[in-house]
Amino acid sequence: MLSTLRPAIVMVVLMTMLTGIAYPLAITGVAQVAAPWEANGSLIRDGETVVGSALIGQAFSDPRHFWPRPSVTADAPYNAAASTGSNLGPTSAALSGRVAAEVGRLRAAGLTAIPADAATASGSGLDPHISPEYAKGQIARVAAARGMAEADLAALVERQTEGRLLGIVGEPRVNVLQLNLALDGRN
């Protein structure tokens, strides 16, 4: 019986060492050399303090900051452990009610033109970006709350707008955390 079990045990140990230890360490090493910022979570720092990630949105509700798009993660906005879509379809009364409530909140805050991303969550509920149109729609509110010139904020939004990848892939977007850090003079 030992002669039958021994090759199986050796293979389990060998494959565990190879696929569970050697391969992940090799891939981690390659990632650290090839793309260290991305491999370490695309962390955004304020000095030595990590303030967030360029890949995961954060909830901002202060009128002095630009607001992100809604998040529908389970227990708290932008909870990466609960990343998921709402699974509500276009005929869902719950989705229609949520969007209508968000549109009402944004209209009460002074937005007149409300782009789709302002009232709807992303598929993961974690998207850190908003459209340049949504960012521009918030300029008047943020300028009034901060006592700043709208032209200065418009220039800041323009500087923080990321273009399409290679000029063709994706849509122009603004990372809300990076925009708010720049607004606060930290970035």
User: Using 50, 70 and 90 to split pLDDT, how confident is the model at 187?
Assistant: very low
The predicted model gives 1-24 an average pLDDT of: 93
Question: Within this chain, do residues 26 and 72 fall inside the same structural domain, yes or no?
Answer: no
| Helical (H) or strand (E) element with 2 | helix 2-15
The predicted model gives 93-103 an average pLDDT of: 88
Question: Within this chain, do residues 48 and 15 fall inside the same structural domain, yes or no?
Answer: no
| Residue 76 pLDDT exceeds 90 | no
**Residues counted in the chain:** 187
* pLDDT of 65: 95
What is the gyration radius of the CA atoms in the chain, in angstroms? 22
More confident of the two residues 79 and 23: 23
Give residue 29's domain range: 2-36
Question: Within this chain, do residues 26 and 80 fall inside the same structural domain, yes or no?
Answer: no
User: Considering the entire predicted model, what is its pTM?
Assistant: 0.78
* pLDDT of 186: 57
Question: Within this chain, do residues 64 and 108 fall inside the same structural domain, yes or no?
Answer: yes
Q: State what percent of residues in the chain have pLDDT above 90.
A: 50
Question: Within this chain, do residues 68 and 102 fall inside the same structural domain, yes or no?
Answer: yes
Alpha-carbon distances, residue 158 vs 36, 57, 142, 163 (angstroms):
27, 20, 15, 10
Per-residue tokens: 100: 């209508």
- Taking all residues of the chain, what is their mean pLDDT, rounded to a whole number? 89
Number of domains in the chain: 2
- The string of pLDDT tens digits covering residues 27-51 is 999 999 999 988 888 888 888 889 8
* pLDDT of 132: 96
Cβ atoms 129, 179 nearer than 8 A: no
* Letter string b/e over residues 42-54, b meaning 16 or more CB atoms within 10 A of that residue's CB: eebeeeeeeebbe
Question: Within this chain, do residues 168 and 78 fall inside the same structural domain, yes or no?
Answer: yes
Question: Within this chain, do residues 32 and 59 fall inside the same structural domain, yes or no?
Answer: no
Question: Within this chain, do residues 95 and 159 fall inside the same structural domain, yes or no?
Answer: yes
User: Using 50, 70 and 90 to split pLDDT, how confident is the model at 115?
Assistant: very high
Per-residue tokens: 29: 């090493």
